[in-house]
Amino acid sequence: MGTYHCKLVEEAVEQVIERVGAHIVLGIPLGLGKPNQFVNALYRRVKEDASLKLTIYTALTLERPIPAKGMETRFAGPLYDRIFGDYDDFQYALDRRNNCLPANVDIYEFFYKSGSFIGNDYAQQHYISTNYTHAPRDLVSCGINVLAQLIARRECDGETQYSLSCNPEVSLDMMRQIEIQGGPRPLVVGQIHEQLPFMVNDAQIDESLFDLLIENPAYNTTLFAPPNMPITTTDYLIGLHVSSLIADGGTLQIGIGSLGDAIVYASEFRHLYNEHYRELMNDLRVSEKYGETIKALGGMAVFEEGLYGNSEMFVDGFYYLMKVGILKRRVYEHEAIQRLLNEKKITEQVSLAMLDVLVEAGVISSRLQVGEFELLQRFGIFKDSVAYKDDMLRVSESMHCEADIANESSRKLLEQCALGDCLRGGRVMHGGFFLGPESFYQGLRELSEEERQSINMTNISYVNQLYGDEALKRVQRQRARFVNTVFTVNLLGAATSDALDNGQVISGVGGQYNFVAQAHELAGARSILMLKATRTKHGEVSSNIIWSYGHTTIPRHLRDIYVTEYGVADVRAKCDADVIKAMLNISDSRFQPQLMQQAKEAGKLARDYQIPAIYCNNFPHVSEQIFDRYQHGEEFPRFPFGTDLTDEELVLGRSLKALKVKTASGKGKLKLLINALVNGSPDSEHEPLLARMGFDCAPSIGDKIERALLVAELKKG
| HEC secondary structure over 445-456 | HCCCHHHHHCEE
CA–CA distance, 293 with 245 (Å, rounded to integer): 8
27 contacts 146 by C-beta, under 8 angstroms:
yes
Which pLDDT value is given to residue 669? 67
Q: Are residues 241 and 133 in the same domain?
A: no
Q: What is the pTM of this model?
A: 0.95
Q: Are residues 603 and 520 in the same domain?
A: yes
Question: Does position 686 have pLDDT exceeding 90, yes or no?
Answer: no
Which pLDDT value is given to residue 552? 96
Domain that holds residue 479: 233-330+428-620
Q: Which 3 state secondary structure label does DSSP give 83?
A: helix
Q: Are residues 257 and 311 in the same domain?
A: yes
Number of Cα atoms under 13 Å in the Cβ half of residue 96:
27
Comparing CA positions, the residue from 227, 242, 235 lying closest to residue 262 is: 235
Give the number of other CB atoms < 10 A from CB of residue 375.
19
Separation in Å, CA 200 to CA 204, 416, 451: 5, 33, 10
94 contacts 40 by C-beta, under 8 angstroms:
no
Residue 608, in any domain of the structure: yes
690 contacts 696 by C-beta, under 8 angstroms:
yes
Q: What percent of the chain has pLDDT over 90?
A: 85
Residue 520, in any domain of the structure: yes
Residue 641, in any domain of the structure: no
Among residues 168, 197, 219, which one ends one of the domains?
219
Residue 635, in any domain of the structure: no
CA–CA distance, 78 with 73 (Å, rounded to integer): 8
- pLDDT band with cut points at 50, 70 and 90 for residue 153: very high
- pLDDT band with cut points at 50, 70 and 90 for residue 633: low
Comparing CA positions, the residue from 234, 260, 303 lying closest to residue 567 is: 234
**Mean pLDDT, rounded, of the chain:** 94
Question: Does position 1 have pLDDT exceeding 80, yes or no?
Answer: no
Which pLDDT value is given to residue 609? 98
Number of Cα atoms under 13 Å in the Cβ half of residue 25:
10
Question: Does position 51 have pLDDT exceeding 80, yes or no?
Answer: yes
Comparing CA positions, the residue from 285, 207, 208, 204 lying closest to residue 240 is: 285
CA–CA distance, 131 with 518 (Å, rounded to integer): 13
- Any idea which of 69-83, 99-113, 359-373, 662-676 has the lowest mean pLDDT? 662-676
Sign of CA pseudo-dihedral 127, 129, 134, 137: negative
59 contacts 135 by C-beta, under 8 angstroms:
yes
- pLDDT band with cut points at 50, 70 and 90 for residue 678: low
Q: Are residues 215 and 169 in the same domain?
A: yes
Comparing CA positions, the residue from 192, 281, 288 lying closest to residue 241 is: 281
Residue 629, in any domain of the structure: no
Using CA atoms in the order 444, 448, 449, 450, what is the torsion angle rounded to 10 degrees?
A: -110
Q: Are residues 552 and 665 in the same domain?
A: no
Among residues 399, 418, 437, which one ends one of the domains?
418
68 Cβ contact partners less than 8 Å away, ≥ 6 residues apart: none
Comparing CA positions, the residue from 36, 4, 30 lying closest to residue 171 is: 30
What single DSSP character describes residue 3?
A: P
Residue 90, in any domain of the structure: yes
441-456 as b/e: b if 16+ CB within 10 A: bebbeebeeebbbbbb
**What pLDDT digit, counting tens, does each position of 382-411 carry?**
999 999 999 999 998 889 999 999 999 999
**Mean pLDDT confidence for 50-66:** 96
Q: Are residues 586 and 684 in the same domain?
A: no
Q: Are residues 318 and 171 in the same domain?
A: no
Which pLDDT value is given to residue 667? 66
Q: Are residues 550 and 453 in the same domain?
A: yes
**What pLDDT digit, counting tens, does each position of 193-215 carry?**
999 999 999 999 999 999 999 99
CA–CA distance, 374 with 514 (Å, rounded to integer): 35
Domain count, the chain: 4
Which pLDDT value is given to residue 679? 64
- pLDDT band with cut points at 50, 70 and 90 for residue 63: very high
Residue 638, in any domain of the structure: no
Give the number of other CB atoms < 10 A from CB of residue 553.
24
Q: Are residues 681 and 614 in the same domain?
A: no
- pLDDT band with cut points at 50, 70 and 90 for residue 595: very high
**What pLDDT digit, counting tens, does each position of 545-561 carry?**
999 999 999 999 999 99
Q: Are residues 566 and 667 in the same domain?
A: no
Give the pairing of strands 187-192 and 212-214: parallel
Q: Are residues 124 and 246 in the same domain?
A: no
Q: Are residues 515 and 433 in the same domain?
A: yes
CATH of the domain at 296: 3.40.1080.20
Residue 224, in any domain of the structure: no
Q: What percent of the chain has pLDDT over 70?
A: 97
